């Protein structure tokens, strides 16, 4: 039993379990942002860094949507600094009646402060939460705000979100507008270098969505002014121009782009449509210039209007007979490129990422405007109408054929106990979270992989030759291909409208091909297959590419596996340096040491330490083997270098820019040769590791 004294002492001693008022922290001002930046910008890596730019640009776009700004300038400056300037109204600088400090300082230092909450500031805006520029200020080691209003120029500087001085009048100025110059805090961000391409792609899209607004991007980071770059975006046609840009590499089914811009119930609706000779749908939806990756009510309204209007027109003109079934939503969206952009006074987004729009009124507005305008378009453009309806009817026939083929393939599998492909060497674990599938090129590599794998968690599916290019094939043709059929059955998810990701049998699906041109081609075909028919597997992080070593380098008993030419040079230098240092320590003449490098195409014989000791002590022998095929490795080597979870290198496949990815797949894998030829000619000089 403890003494009374010890009990008393214990009560008065703070413990790890103490929980009282003293343990409750109150973060004031912008401190919460610096404490938990991921809550506001997603992450502190490259995506979060660029999100700072988007927040400031969004304020400029809001001014443009309000009709008070027609030019936005973005400058990339030295030392990781960037400036964003517009010719809008300028942030007010007078004292705010609530905070008792300048309104400019209030906007820059207070979360949820801005002109987007009450009446009169903005009719529509992309920023819903009002945390944009204050978050940028909080996460910048330096920020300067300059405002032109009422013929005067005002400025204020900040460090880590803290104002250094009061707002200062610098003098007279022409025009109006706001300029924000900032340098992200290197103690918060893991990367601080802005990517020009990322900025250009985003601002090009914003320019399409905000027609007749000029966006100019300057790259002035190089000390040599002659290397400074300038890009200007200006699109008179808005999303109509955007549709033409997206479809430029594809065969078009009709000449004229359908486009409508109209307002209904205080909601401005813009819709553009074009059909191309492909099998996949590209639908981009925006609300107040914010991309809604998961769609929302405006997308539902569009799909409803599209299906109903095309069915009514097809029956009215005799394309569909009484005995024919209606076109489905899937039929009318095959080969469709559509952009929906609405401007709505009070958007209701689901989540901070604004991925989905919840306003019910957006559904009826888009439905009504699209229906009326599309009906008129089809009547006034009979040739375009014929191309569109013909494409949809062909898709309907293909759907019926694909369903029959799918039922033949997959239902037969169910009746037989869902028999897995005979060449699949499955793992013994039935827990998908612990299981992974290696898709291997050829029987030779497949044999090595089957012998070297962990049978408990690793399944092997060898492919014979190159799979079908699904960019040029419908589902019925795909299911007639044995390799694709094996893949679909092995995944367990089904395909198309019957796809269910919950039935996925493996947490990781790993593409493991040779490090040569044929291997790269097979990877591209497989990635096309996943991108077009299993995009959720990519989005949810299930698809990987294995990285087999390119070289085995040996010096005596020192054996290393390297995965690139850069690593090879480094390993070679290290081995030579080690040998020379050893020779010098043993009293040999360092300068007389001779380096002999042997290139081999077959597995070199292992050298024991005794043999190494007996060799010429002044001679350094390096044996380098280049591996072009996985089949050249024995099972143990394949496990050690490429399959062992403790040692291997995997690349996770992600889609950061779906529109750009879609365009690249169209160019590389589509039926039109000319764009592919231009792509190869453009990028030929930047290609590396060519096997000729």
Quick one: pLDDT at residue 403? 75
Question: Is residue 150 included in any domain, yes or no?
Answer: yes
Question: Is residue 105 included in any domain, yes or no?
Answer: yes
The CA distance from 395 to 647, in Å, is 47
Question: Is residue 482 included in any domain, yes or no?
Answer: yes
Quick one: pLDDT at residue 387? 95
Q: Are residues 105 and 219 in the same domain?
A: yes
Mention every residue, 6+ apart, whose C-beta is less than 8 A from residue 316.
none
Q: Are residues 158 and 289 in the same domain?
A: no
Q: List, by residue number, the catalytic residues.
A: 441, 514, 516, 518
Quick one: pLDDT at residue 115? 52
Render pLDDT for 357-384 as a digit per residue (tens, 0 to 9).
999 999 999 999 999 999 999 999 999 9
CA angle 349, 354, 356 (to 5 degrees): 65
Segments in the chain below pLDDT 70: 1-29, 112-131, 351-353, 405-419, 586-619, 656-663, 665, 669-673, 675-676, 679, 681-692
Q: Are residues 674 and 532 in the same domain?
A: yes
Q: What's the token pair of residue 115? A: 């002109």
Quick one: pLDDT at residue 368? 97
Other residues' Cβ atoms within 10 Å of the Cβ of residue 72: 28
pTM: 0.67
Quick one: pLDDT at residue 605? 44
Domain assignment of residue 483, given as a range: 420-548+652-686
Q: Are residues 270 and 391 in the same domain?
A: yes
Question: Is residue 37 included in any domain, yes or no?
Answer: yes
Question: Is residue 523 included in any domain, yes or no?
Answer: yes
Quick one: pLDDT at residue 414? 39
Question: Is residue 223 included in any domain, yes or no?
Answer: yes
Residue that terminates a domain, selected from 189, 213, 233: 233
Mention every residue, 6+ apart, whose C-beta is less than 8 A from residue 682.
none
Q: Are residues 395 and 436 in the same domain?
A: no
| Helix, strand, coil share (%) of the chain residues, nearest 5 | 40, 20, 40
What is the CATH number for 105?
A: 3.30.565.10
Q: Are residues 225 and 244 in the same domain?
A: no
How would DSSP label each residue in 656-681? Answer: S-HHHHHHHHHHHHSS-HHHHHHHHH
Q: What's the token pair of residue 75? A: 């400058």
Cα→Cα distances 112→52, 129, 336, 536, Å: 16, 6, 39, 35
Quick one: pLDDT at residue 41? 86
Q: Are residues 77 and 218 in the same domain?
A: yes
Q: Are residues 111 and 181 in the same domain?
A: yes
Q: Are residues 72 and 213 in the same domain?
A: yes
Q: Are residues 468 and 368 in the same domain?
A: no
The CA distance from 407 to 498, in Å, is 11
Question: Is residue 645 included in any domain, yes or no?
Answer: no
Other residues' Cβ atoms within 10 Å of the Cβ of residue 334: 21
Residue with the two structure tokens 């205080």: 266
Q: Are residues 61 and 73 in the same domain?
A: yes
Give the three-class secondary structure for 521.
Answer: helix
* Total number of domains constituting the chain: 4
Helices (H), 210-290: 239-246
Give the three-class secondary structure for 616.
Answer: coil
What is the CATH number for 380?
A: 3.30.230.10
Contact between residue 377 and residue 370 where contact means Cβ atoms under 8 Å apart: no
From the centroid of its chain, how far is CA 688? 23
Q: Are residues 104 and 189 in the same domain?
A: yes
Question: Is residue 3 included in any domain, yes or no?
Answer: no
From 437, 444, 433, select the one nearest 421 (Cα to Cα): 437
Quick one: pLDDT at residue 565? 85
Quick one: pLDDT at residue 7? 43
């Amino acid at each position: 039993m403890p003494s009374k004294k010890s009990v008393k002492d214990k009560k008065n001693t703070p413990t790890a379990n103490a929980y009282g008022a003293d343990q409750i922290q109150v973060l004031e001002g912008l401190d919460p942002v610096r404490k938990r930046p991921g809550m506001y910008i997603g992450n502190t890596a490259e995506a979060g860094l660029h999100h700072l730019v988007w927040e400031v640009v969004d304020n400029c776009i809001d001014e443009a949507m309000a009709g008070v700004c027609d030019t936005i300038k973005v400058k990339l400056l030295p030392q990781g600094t960037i400036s964003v300037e517009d010719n809008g109204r300028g942030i007010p600088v007078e004292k705010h009646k609530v905070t008792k400090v300048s309104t400019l300082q209030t906007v820059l230092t207070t979360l949820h402060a801005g002109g987007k909450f009450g009446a009169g500031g903005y009719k529509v805006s992309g920023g819903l939460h009002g945390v944009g520029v204050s978050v940028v200020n909080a996460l910048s080691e330096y920020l300067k705000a300059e405002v032109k209003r009422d013929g005067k120029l005002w400025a204020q500087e900040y460090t880590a979100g803290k104002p250094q001085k009061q707002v200062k009048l610098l003098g007279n100025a022409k025009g109006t507008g706001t300029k924000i110059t900032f340098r992200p805090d290197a103690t918060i961000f893991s990367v601080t270098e802005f990517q020009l391409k990322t900025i250009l792609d985003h601002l090009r899209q914003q320019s399409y969505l905000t027609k007749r607004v000029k966006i100019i991007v300057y790259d002035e980071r190089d000390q040599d002014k002659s290397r400074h770059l300038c890009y200007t975006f200006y699109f008179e046609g808005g999303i109509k121009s955007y549709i033409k840009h997206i479809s430029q590499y594809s065969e078009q089914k009709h000449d004229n782009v359908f486009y409508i811009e109209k307002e209904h119930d205080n909601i401005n609706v813009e819709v553009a449509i074009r059909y191309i000779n492909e099998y996949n749908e590209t639908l981009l939806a925006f609300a107040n210039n914010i991309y809604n990756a998961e769609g929302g009510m405006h997308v539902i309204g569009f799909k409803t209007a599209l299906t109903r209007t095309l069915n009514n027109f097809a029956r009215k003109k005799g394309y569909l007979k009484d005995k024919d079934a209606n076109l489905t939503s899937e039929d009318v969206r095959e080969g469709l490129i559509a952009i929906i952009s609405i401007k709505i006074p009070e958007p209701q987004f689901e989540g901070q990422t604004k991925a989905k729009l919840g306003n019910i009124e957006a559904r009826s507005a888009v439905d009504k405007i699209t229906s009326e305008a599309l009906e008129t378009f089809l009547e006034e453009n009979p040739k375009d109408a014929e191309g569109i309806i013909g494409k949809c009817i062909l898709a309907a026939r293909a759907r019926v054929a694909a369903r029959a083929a799918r039922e033949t393939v997959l239902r037969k599998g169910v009746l037989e106990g869902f028999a897995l492909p005979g060449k699949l060497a499955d793992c013994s674990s039935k827990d998908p979270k612990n299981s992974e599938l290696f898709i291997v090129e050829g029987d030779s590599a497949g044999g090595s992989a089957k012998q070297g794998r962990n049978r408990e968690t690793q399944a092997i599916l060898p492919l014979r030759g190159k799979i079908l290019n699904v960019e040029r094939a419908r589902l019925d043709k795909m299911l007639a291909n044995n390799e694709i059929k094996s893949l679909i059955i092995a995944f367990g998810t089904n395909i198309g409208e019957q796809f269910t990701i919950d039935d996925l049998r493996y947490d990781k699906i790993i593409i493991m091909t040779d490090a040569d041109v044929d291997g790269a081609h097979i990877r591209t075909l497989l990635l096309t297959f996943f991108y077009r028919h299993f995009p959720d597997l990519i989005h949810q992080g299930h698809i990987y590419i294995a990285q087999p070593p390119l070289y085995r380098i040996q010096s005596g008993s020192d054996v290393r596996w390297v995965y690139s030419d850069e690593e090879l040079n480094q390993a070679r230098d290290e081995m030579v340096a080690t040998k020379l240092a050893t020779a010098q320590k043993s009293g040999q003449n360092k300068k007389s040491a001779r380096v002999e490098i042997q290139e081999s195409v077959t597995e070199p014989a292992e050298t024991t330490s005794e043999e190494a000791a007996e060799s010429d002590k002044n001679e350094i022998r390096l044996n380098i083997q280049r591996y072009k095929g996985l089949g050249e490795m024995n099972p143990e080597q394949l496990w050690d270098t490429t399959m062992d979870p403790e040692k291997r290198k995997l690349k996770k496949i992600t889609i950061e820019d779906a529109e750009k990815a879609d365009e690249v797949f169209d160019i590389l894998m589509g039926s039109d040769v000319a764009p592919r030829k231009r792509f190869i000619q453009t990028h030929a000089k930047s290609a590396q590791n060519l096997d000729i």
